[in-house]
């Protein structure tokens, strides 16, 4: 049966945001929060891309004087920090925010206001770093700042503090987001969606969230220790004061490596969804892919020392980490095998999202294999801190995460906007980006093997690096042009794209049941899941349950393993408090760059705003006013 | 809105309760999530402490006084004793005992406030300023990390207490009291390893 | 010596194709042109890795292309064929076995290469201390004859065929000593001592660079490495141990006054240790850690405006009249 | 709040590594070039390194007492920038710093020395510990 108009109108009235700018500031709709995350992150990716082009231009000619050392060091620090902390991780969280409720047939995230708080705090981190850049106090020590160079003695001023606080900003936002995503996936699955029937995308987001929860505290601790060393003269990283410079590296990379898998694991979720839909068959080796994802998540915490092979740690320890680092190639390899097997035994439809998956496999496997090469403790002594590693990290980050992300945009764009992106321009952008990227970054492998060190603002003539650097510059320019074509296609299709309907690709998961663009309440009823691919296995009418409140915001809470309905949880409505709290927290973070007293003074506004946020709005004791409801 | 998939109603959820207790409740999982985050931060801080300790020629470094045992024992004793009223409040929350929950929250707020006093003296008697050497920095870091948790939970309990006394308490609010009590147990459990690290490891090494 | 040479010939046989491919663009600062036992071990490992990884990549791409072509034909058939995955399950196991064997080979190869790097640790070796400064290298030789330390900077000489044990440390921030033709890089970390054994097998000029970002002028912190036969090396070391010969002209006095508080020239009152030791400055091949070639023009330019050539360097622009600058340049150019 | 931070921060943090430093001594305590050094954290920290390299900490170290203590903020010959600059150049019998330290370095040294009294002792000690291995005049005791 089609839900009647009255049913939808009552739902829409309960779930609609207040109109206008106030609605924009107070919304807790996971789709609007995700959309602003994606827009901000894509704009920052463009800015950081421009920085990359700047550096490529500087390196295209030996002894180039276009950029001085200070400007170049600021550029690569800002490029790295922005791409990793302000673009990649937030984009993956945004995809989770946008898709997890839709795939669960739920009406919002578990903690709606916490989602709003995550975005505003992330946005505070963006402003903290980029306003500092505008004011010419850009951090200039790279995206990981090893003491003692980042210590009080060798980097005066507040540049390193701004970098460290920006990380604290984004990591608190990421932690809040991952607790939100994990709680949503564990406790809000539709009736019948047991763990065995959970789509791979949700497994990917769950595992990435758990990895975030366990790894981000390490970087928050280490940046706080660095700021303490710089501001209140603690001795964590001063060898003469009893500290150890390597303690920073251990703690940072204990976070660093899981971080890059937090970026990669969601990408495997995107690829699995796309491959399943465009091969038009159930994903081959569902359990193999999920188990591989789990082992990648677990192994990621056991191999951080491969970033420190050259610091002179005991050899046997290094060899253990070689084995652990190489072992991660097994689950990754099995995942790749399962995707290719799914395509092999399916009826392939080569639309743009599938093109991106093919681009992903072709590029990421090169990155994975160059990763296996640098994983060797011995060979890494020749490869680390050279352009070989720059090539490897771009192949696994752009090839392994950005290409699936472009595919995911092309795949879920019709669901978000109701219109299809143009296939022709989609493939032109694909050729531009993938072709340009490989032209740009393949030569860097050879530059590294020809001895070009990393992070050099210029290099002497006569080393044989000139032509390869010029090819790399050309390739990067082509890739960025392709990126602009992709964005232009997205913007153009918003108005003029072919109308898509609710399920243009014939997808297998629940997000294709709701209309596109989905209304504020996502779906009229709570779907019941009886298989891994509900949209394919059920008849014309999707089995669903009624009974969730229509006149107040309610979400269904189910049990963790078997998704048995437990109770109807009141879902928080729009509120300004998340924004207020994130302003208070931002003020405290920025203040604490200048004086430790800012933490004590800043605590008061934070306490006040959090009280406002969590103050349950129920009737006062003894008054007979009916329950205030929404 | 474009056409959407038809539905076939197979059940009704309206008879489900609108709250639950313990791990069946959604907010309980959010609470656990944040406890895991802070627990990982404590574990990593302890790892940093042990890392520096194992590499130091002498622990505590020569010339550094031992951290005072008097106030720390008073604090630790008080904290462990506070587990009893805390468990009672937890029980009241589970059995939805309104008066017990209100007076329990007030009692826990006062107890936490009282514990601030020995904690303040602990800071004074740590024996080493944080800026002398890495040993001083580490024990100050551990103590400050734990103190922030004591303060935040005290404030959370205080606000909850004020709200409980002035409002009609619903099932969700009982769940909030339960989570608050669980969080206080977490604060107690975290303190035990840190107490050993700060006060007894320097004496044992 | 025989064992490593023989091992090299064996390792090269399977890796012939990749070696030809990568050997082509060898240089004086490249792991692809090994000149010592350590570098050969790493080069062989590189060939092994490239071969195995290249093979696996071809397998993956072949599988991908085959699957896409096959699936495109199936797309033309309307009905979805019944899904029988038993064949795919078996091939999943097969692929796991292939990956595990590939990884085992690479792990074992890496372990062997790591052990080869340490092979020279047992031999008695000449000690050299290299200390990283912000943006130059202080190098001290322990003269086997006299047992005293001889200091030089920015240029490392090594005896052919003999093992030299380099003790790496840092004076300020983390640097990384990397001379790719001679061995892998080891970081120089304040508060730690790291050891690196070098056993050169080919004489000639090589170039190394700092490989860990260490501040504004990280890009201009290179070092020249010269491998000589033992006789020439001993002569060079003896020459370095001597004090500077008496020089004529005003240059020495001017140098003593204006530059002596940071630079040392043994045998003259100039005894500053903040900057590199210039006792045998003119014998070196480059100025300011590989930034400029050792020519009179470069020397004059460096003395007049160091900030223009290496912005951010700690070397100040000493205000000298042209005649004085010329005198100091001539004095330095005579310090063989 | 962020905007205010931006404007206040920019001059203090600027780091222009370009040739063309001042070639002459400051004329008077109100020389317009002084803020570029006294207010710039990079120039002050460079001054600190030259303070070590020229061996000043031998007499003016952390625990120096009386007139040699530069961190107590009272200056026998006047605390103005030009006064301190002159003292470094002319009032060190036998050291002849006027010739031995180039002009720009003496600007930086003056900025560092006048900035010392604005920091707590532990901050200076923390920085000194990181730079423990820096050469002190003609003495270098090996790396850290």
Residue B63 lies in a domain: no
**B61 to chain D, minimum CA–CA distance in Å?**
16
Largest CA distance in chain C: 99
Task: Using an 8 Å CB-CB cutoff, list chain C residues near A378.
Answer: 41-42, 45, 110, 113-114, 116-117, 184
Q: What is the CATH number of the domain that holds B118?
A: 1.20.120.80
Q: Is the peptide bond before C262 cis (omega within 30 degrees of 0)?
A: no
Token reading at A514: 């709701």
Whether pLDDT at A625 is above 60: no
**What's the average model confidence in pLDDT over B34-60?**
94
Residue C123 is predicted with a pLDDT of: 82
* Chain C contact probe: residue of D14, D21, D138, D143 with most C CBs at under 10 A: D143
List pLDDT tens digits, range C11-59: 444 444 444 444 445 689 999 999 999 999 999 999 999 999 999 999 9
Q: What is the CATH number of the domain that holds C161?
A: 2.60.40.420
Q: Subunits with at least 3 CB pairs below 8 A relative to chain C? A: A, D
Backbone angles phi, psi at B18, to 5 degrees: -110, 20
- 3-state DSSP call for residue A135? coil
Whether pLDDT at B59 is above 80: yes
pLDDT > 70 in chain A, percent: 99
**Closest Cα in chain D to B129:** D122
Residue D71 is predicted with a pLDDT of: 85
Please list, residue by residue across D69-89, b when 16 or more beta carbons sit within 10 angstroms of its beta carbon and e when fewer do. bbbeeebeeeebbbbbbbbbb
Place of tokens 């912190």: C221
**What's the average model confidence in pLDDT over D54-83?**
87
**What's the average model confidence in pLDDT over A260-270?**
96
Residue B128 is predicted with a pLDDT of: 93
Whether pLDDT at A629 is above 50: no
Residue C9 is predicted with a pLDDT of: 45
Does residue C213 sit in the same domain as residue C267?
no
Residue B5 lies in a domain: no
Q: What angle do CA A259, A262, A263 make, to 5 degrees?
A: 95
* Chain B contact probe: residue of D62, D121, D122, D132 with most B CBs at under 10 A: D122
**A157 to chain D, minimum CA–CA distance in Å?**
6
List pLDDT tens digits, range A285-300: 999 999 999 999 999 9
Q: Given an 8 Å threshold on Cβ–Cβ distance, is B9 in contact with A1? A: yes
Domain stops at, among C241, C264, C290: C241
Does residue C54 sit in the same domain as residue C110?
yes
CB within 8 A of A584, min separation 6: which ones?
Answer: A602, A605, A606, A608, A609
Mean pLDDT of chain C: 88
List pLDDT tens digits, range C104-162: 999 999 999 999 988 888 888 889 999 999 999 999 998 877 788 899 999 999 999 99
pLDDT higher at C78 or A523? A523
Does residue C311 sit in the same domain as residue C205?
no
Residue A622 is predicted with a pLDDT of: 67
What are B96-104's contacts with CB under 8 Å, separation 24+?
Answer: B96/B171, B96/B174, B98/B169, B101/B164, B101/B169, B101/B174, B101/B177, B102/B161, B102/B164, B102/B165, B102/B169, B104/B177
List A residues 110-129 in contact with B (Cβ-Cβ < 8 A). 110-111, 114
Residue D16 is predicted with a pLDDT of: 79
Domain count, chain B: 1
Residue C106 lies in a domain: yes
Helix pair angle (A577-594, A200-231), 10° resolution: 40
Q: Given an 8 Å threshold on Cβ–Cβ distance, is A567 in contact with B41? A: no
Token reading at A190: 């539709």
Task: Using an 8 Å CB-CB cutoff, list chain C residues near D18.
Answer: 307, 311
Q: Given an 8 Å threshold on Cβ–Cβ distance, is D23 in contact with C319? A: yes
Residue C80 is predicted with a pLDDT of: 64
**D126 to chain B, minimum CA–CA distance in Å?**
8
Q: C227: part of which helix (H) or strand (E)?
A: strand C222-228
Whether pLDDT at D46 is above 70: yes
Whether pLDDT at A367 is above 70: yes
Q: Given an 8 Å threshold on Cβ–Cβ distance, is B48 in contact with A566? A: no
**What's the average model confidence in pLDDT over A304-326?**
93
pLDDT > 70 in chain D, percent: 91
Q: Strand A498-499 to strand A526-527: parallel, antiparallel, or no bridges (unpaired)?
A: unpaired
pTM: 0.94
Domain ranges of chain D: 78-136
Residue C220 lies in a domain: yes
- A554 pairs with which residues across the strands? A570
- Residue A402 and residue A95 in contact, taking contact as beta carbons nearer than 8 Å: no
Least confident of A219-233, A466-480, C118-132: C118-132
Task: Using an 8 Å CB-CB cutoff, list chain C residues near A363.
Answer: none
Whether D125 has its CB under 8 Å from any CB of chain B: the answer is yes
Residue D67 is predicted with a pLDDT of: 84
Least confident of A104-118, B134-148, C191-205, C247-261: C247-261
Residue B9 lies in a domain: no
In chain A the domains, ranked by start, together with CATH numbers, are 28-575 (1.20.210.10)
Residue A440 is predicted with a pLDDT of: 95
Residue A623 is predicted with a pLDDT of: 53
Q: How confident is the model at residue C76 (pLDDT cuts 50, 70, 90)?
A: confident
Q: Given an 8 Å threshold on Cβ–Cβ distance, is A152 in contact with D126? A: yes
* Chain A contact probe: residue of C103, C165, C210, C290 with most A CBs at under 10 A: C103
Whether pLDDT at A567 is above 50: yes
Whether B134 has its CB under 8 Å from any CB of chain D: the answer is no
List D residues 56-95 in contact with C (Cβ-Cβ < 8 A). none
Residue A381 is predicted with a pLDDT of: 95
Whether A628 has its CB under 8 Å from any CB of chain C: the answer is no
Q: What ipTM is given for this predicted complex?
A: 0.92
List pLDDT tens digits, range A527-562: 999 999 999 988 888 999 998 989 999 999 999 999
Domain count, chain C: 3
**A229 to chain B, minimum CA–CA distance in Å?**
9
Residue C246 lies in a domain: no
Report the residue from D18, D100, D143 with minimal CB separation from C171. Answer: D143
Distances (CA, A) of D105 to A546, D35, D51, D89: 79, 15, 9, 11
| Cα separation, D29 vs D35, whole angstroms | 11
Whether D131 has its CB under 8 Å from any CB of chain C: the answer is yes
Chains A and D: how many Cβ contacts under 8 Å?
74
List A residues 403-432 in contact with C (Cβ-Cβ < 8 A). none
Does residue C127 sit in the same domain as residue C116?
no
Whether A202 has its CB under 8 Å from any CB of chain B: the answer is no
Whether D91 has its CB under 8 Å from any CB of chain B: the answer is no
Write out the DSSP string of B14-33.
TTS-S---GGGSHHHHHHHH
**Closest Cα in chain D to B134:** D126
List pLDDT tens digits, range A48-87: 999 999 999 999 999 998 999 999 999 999 999 999 999 9
Token reading at A370: 């160059």
Report the residue from B2, B15, B33 with minimal CB separation from A515. Answer: B2
**A458 to chain C, minimum CA–CA distance in Å?**
6
Mean pLDDT of chain A: 93
List A residues 3-22 in contact with B (Cβ-Cβ < 8 A). 3
Q: What is the domain range of residue B89?
A: 69-204
**What's the average model confidence in pLDDT over C93-110?**
95
Residue B89 lies in a domain: yes
**A43 to chain B, minimum CA–CA distance in Å?**
29
- A546 pairs with which residues across the strands? B12
**Closest Cα in chain B to A237:** B134
Does residue C47 sit in the same domain as residue C154?
no
Residue B21 lies in a domain: no
Residue C147 lies in a domain: yes
Q: Given an 8 Å threshold on Cβ–Cβ distance, is C312 in contact with D17? A: yes
**What's the average model confidence in pLDDT over B103-119?**
95
List pLDDT tens digits, range C243-258: 888 888 889 999 999 9
**What's the average model confidence in pLDDT over B135-162?**
95
Residue C25 is predicted with a pLDDT of: 52
**What's the average model confidence in pLDDT over D125-139?**
90
Domain stops at, among C95, C120, C145: C120
Does residue C107 sit in the same domain as residue C36?
yes
Does residue C100 sit in the same domain as residue C37?
yes
List pLDDT tens digits, range A126-170: 999 999 999 989 999 999 999 999 999 999 989 999 999 999 999
Whether pLDDT at D37 is above 70: yes
Whether pLDDT at C5 is above 80: no
Q: Given an 8 Å threshold on Cβ–Cβ distance, is A146 in contact with C41? A: no
Q: Given an 8 Å threshold on Cβ–Cβ distance, is C258 in contact with D100? A: yes
Q: What is the domain range of residue C40?
A: 2-77+85-120
> What is the rounded end-to-end Cα distance, in angstroms, of chain B?
71
Residue B113 is predicted with a pLDDT of: 95
**B131 to chain D, minimum CA–CA distance in Å?**
6
**A475 to chain B, minimum CA–CA distance in Å?**
42
List pLDDT tens digits, range A432-463: 999 999 999 999 999 999 999 999 999 999 89
């Amino acid at each position: 049966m089609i839900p009647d108009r009255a049913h939808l109108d009552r739902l829409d009235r309960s779930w609609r945001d207040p109109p206008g700018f106030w609605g924009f500031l107070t919304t807790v709709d996971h789709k609007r929060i995700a959309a602003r995350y994606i827009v901000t992150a894509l704009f920052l990716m463009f800015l950081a891309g421009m920085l990359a082009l700047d550096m490529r231009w500087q390196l295209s000619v030996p002894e180039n004087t276009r950029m001085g050392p200070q400007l170049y060091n600021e550029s690569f620090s800002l490029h790295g920090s922005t791409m990793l902390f302000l673009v990649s991780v937030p984009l993956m969280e945004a995809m989770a925010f946008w898709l997890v409720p839709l795939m669960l047939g739920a009406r919002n995230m578990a903690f709606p206001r916490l989602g709003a708080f995550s975005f505003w705090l992330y946005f505070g981190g963006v402003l903290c770093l980029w306003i500092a850049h505008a004011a010419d106090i850009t951090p200039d020590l790279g995206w990981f700042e090893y003491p003692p160079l980042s210590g009080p003695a060798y980097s005066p001023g507040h540049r390193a503090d701004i970098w460290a606080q920006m990380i604290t900003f984004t990591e608190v936002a990421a932690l809040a987001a991952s607790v939100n995503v994990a709680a949503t996936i564990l406790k809000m699955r539709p009736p019948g969606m047991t763990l065995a029937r959970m789509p791979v995308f949700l497994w990917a987001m769950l595992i990435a969230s758990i990895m975030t929860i366990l790894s981000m505290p390490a970087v928050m601790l280490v940046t706080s220790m660095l700021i303490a060393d710089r501001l209140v003269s603690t001795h964590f990283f001063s060898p003469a004061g009893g500290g150890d410079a390597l303690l920073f590296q251990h703690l940072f990379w204990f976070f660093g490596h899981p971080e890059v898998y937090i970026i990669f694991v969601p990408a495997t979720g995107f690829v699995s969804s796309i491959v399943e839909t465009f091969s038009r068959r159930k994903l081959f080796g569902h359990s193999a892919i999920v188990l591989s994802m789990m082992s990648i998540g677990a192994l990621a915490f056991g191999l951080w020392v491969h970033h420190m092979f050259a610091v002179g740690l005991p050899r046997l320890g290094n060899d253990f980490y070689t084995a652990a680092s190489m072992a991660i190639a097994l689950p990754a390899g099995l995942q790749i095998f399962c995707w290719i097997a799914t395509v092999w035994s399916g009826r392939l439809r080569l639309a743009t999202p599938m093109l991106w998956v093919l681009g992903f496999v072709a590029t990421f496997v090169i990155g994975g294999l160059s990763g296996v090469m640098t994983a060797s403790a011995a060979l890494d002594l020749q490869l680390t801190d050279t352009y070989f590693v720059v090539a490897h990290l771009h192949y696994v980050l752009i090839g392994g995460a950005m290409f699936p992300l472009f595919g995911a945009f092309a795949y879920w764009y019709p669901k978000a906007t109701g219109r299809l992106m143009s296939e022709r321009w989609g493939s032109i952008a694909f050729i531009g980006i993938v072709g340009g990227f490989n032209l740009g970054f393949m030569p860097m492998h050879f530059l590294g093997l020809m001895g070009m060190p990393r992070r050099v603002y210029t290099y002497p003539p006569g080393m044989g690096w000139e032509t390869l650097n010029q090819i790399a510059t050309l390739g990067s320019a082509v890739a960025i042009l392709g990126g602009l074509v992709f964005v232009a296609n997205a913007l153009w299709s918003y108005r003029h794209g072919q109308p898509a309907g609710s399920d243009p690709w014939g997808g297998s998961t629940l997000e294709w049941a709701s209309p596109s663009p989905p209304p504020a309440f996502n779906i009229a009823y709570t779907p019941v899941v009886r298989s891994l691919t509900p949209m394919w296995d059920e008849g014309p009418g999707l089995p669903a349950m009624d009974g969730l409140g229509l006149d107040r915001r309610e979400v269904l809470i189910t049990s963790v393993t078997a998704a048995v309905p437990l109770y109807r949880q009141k879902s928080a409505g729009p509120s300004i408090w998340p924004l207020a709290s994130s302003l208070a927290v931002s003020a405290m973070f920025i203040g604490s760059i200048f004086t430790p007293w800012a933490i004590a003074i800043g605590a008061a506004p934070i306490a006040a705003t959090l009280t406002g946020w969590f103050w349950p709005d129920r009737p006062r004791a003894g008054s007979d006013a009916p329950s205030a409801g929404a | 809105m474009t056409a959407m998939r038809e539905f076939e109603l197979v059940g009704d959820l309206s008879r489900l309760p609108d709250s639950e207790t313990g791990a069946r409740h959604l907010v309980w999982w959010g609470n656990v999530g944040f406890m895991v985050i802070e627990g990982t931060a404590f574990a990593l801080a302890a790892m940093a402490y042990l890392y520096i300790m194992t590499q130091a020629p002498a622990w505590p470094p020569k010339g550094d006084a031992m951290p005072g045992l008097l106030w720390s024992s008073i604090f630790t004793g008080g904290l462990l004793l506070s587990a009893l009223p805390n468990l009672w409040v937890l029980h009241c929350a589970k059995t939805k005992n309104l008066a017990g929950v209100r007076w329990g929250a007030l009692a826990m707020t006062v107890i936490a406030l009282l514990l601030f006093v020995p904690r303040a003296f602990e800071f004074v008697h740590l024996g080493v300023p944080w800026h002398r050497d890495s040993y001083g920095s580490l024990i100050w870091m551990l103590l400050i990390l734990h103190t922030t948790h004591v303060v935040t939970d005290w404030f959370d309990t205080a606000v909850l207490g004020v709200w409980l006394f002035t409002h009609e308490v619903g099932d969700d609010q009982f769940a909030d009291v339960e989570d608050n009590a669980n969080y206080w147990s977490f604060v107690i459990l975290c303190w035990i390893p840190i107490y050993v690290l700060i006060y007894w490891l320097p004496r044992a090494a | 010596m025989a064992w490593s040479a023989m091992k090299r010939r064996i390792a090269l046989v399977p890796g012939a194709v990749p070696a030809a491919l990568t050997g082509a663009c060898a240089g004086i600062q490249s792991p692809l042109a090994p000149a010592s036992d350590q570098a050969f071990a790493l080069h062989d490992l590189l060939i092994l890795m490239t071969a195995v990884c290249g093979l696996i990549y071809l397998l993956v791409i072949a599988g991908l292309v085959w699957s896409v072509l096959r699936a495109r034909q199936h797309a033309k058939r309307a009905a979805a064929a019944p899904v029988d995955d038993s064949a795919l399950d078996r091939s999943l196991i097969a692929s796991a076995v292939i990956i595990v064997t590939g990884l085992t080979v690479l792990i074992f190869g890496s372990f062997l290469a790591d052990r080869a790097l340490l092979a020279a640790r047992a031999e008695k070796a000449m000690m050299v201390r290299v200390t990283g400064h912000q943006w130059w290298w202080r190098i001290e030789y322990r003269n086997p004859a006299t047992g005293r330390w001889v200091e030089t900077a920015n240029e490392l000489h090594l005896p052919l065929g003999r093992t030299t044990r380099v003790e790496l440390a840092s004076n300020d921030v983390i640097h990384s000593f990397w001379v790719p033709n001679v061995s892998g890089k080891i970081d120089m970390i304040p508060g730690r001592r790291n050891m690196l054994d070098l056993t050169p097998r080919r004489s000639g000029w090589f170039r190394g660079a700092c490989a860990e970002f260490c501040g504004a002028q990280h890009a201009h912190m290179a070092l020249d490495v010269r491998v000589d036969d033992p006789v020439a090396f001993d002569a060079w070391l003896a020459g370095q141990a001597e004090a500077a010969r008496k020089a004529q002209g005003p240059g020495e006095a001017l140098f003593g006054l204006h530059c002596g508080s940071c630079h040392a020239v043994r045998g003259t009152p100039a005894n500053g240790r903040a900057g590199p030791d210039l006792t045998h400055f003119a014998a070196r091949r480059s100025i300011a850690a590989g930034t400029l070639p050792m020519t009179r023009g470069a020397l004059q330019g460096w003395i007049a405006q160091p900030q223009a050539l290496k912005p951010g360097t700690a070397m100040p622009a000493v205000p000298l009249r042209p005649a004085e600058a010329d005198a100091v340049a001539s004095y330095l150019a005579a310090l063989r | 709040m962020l905007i205010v931070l931006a404007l206040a921060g920019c001059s203090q943090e600027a780091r222009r590594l370009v040739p063309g430093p001042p070639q002459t001594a400051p004329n008077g305590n109100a020389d317009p070039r002084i803020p570029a050094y006294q207010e710039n954290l990079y120039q002050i920290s460079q001054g600190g390194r030259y303070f070590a390299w020229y061996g000043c900490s031998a007499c003016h170290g952390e625990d120096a007492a009386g007139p040699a203590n530069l961190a107590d903020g009272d200056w026998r010959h006047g605390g103005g920038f030009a006064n301190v600059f002159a003292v470094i150049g002319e009032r060190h019998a036998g050291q002849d710093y006027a010739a031995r330290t180039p002009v720009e370095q003496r600007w930086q040294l003056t900025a560092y020395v006048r900035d010392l009294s604005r920091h707590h002792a532990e901050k200076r000690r923390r920085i000194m510990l990181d730079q423990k291995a820096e050469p002190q005049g003609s003495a270098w005791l090996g790396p850290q």
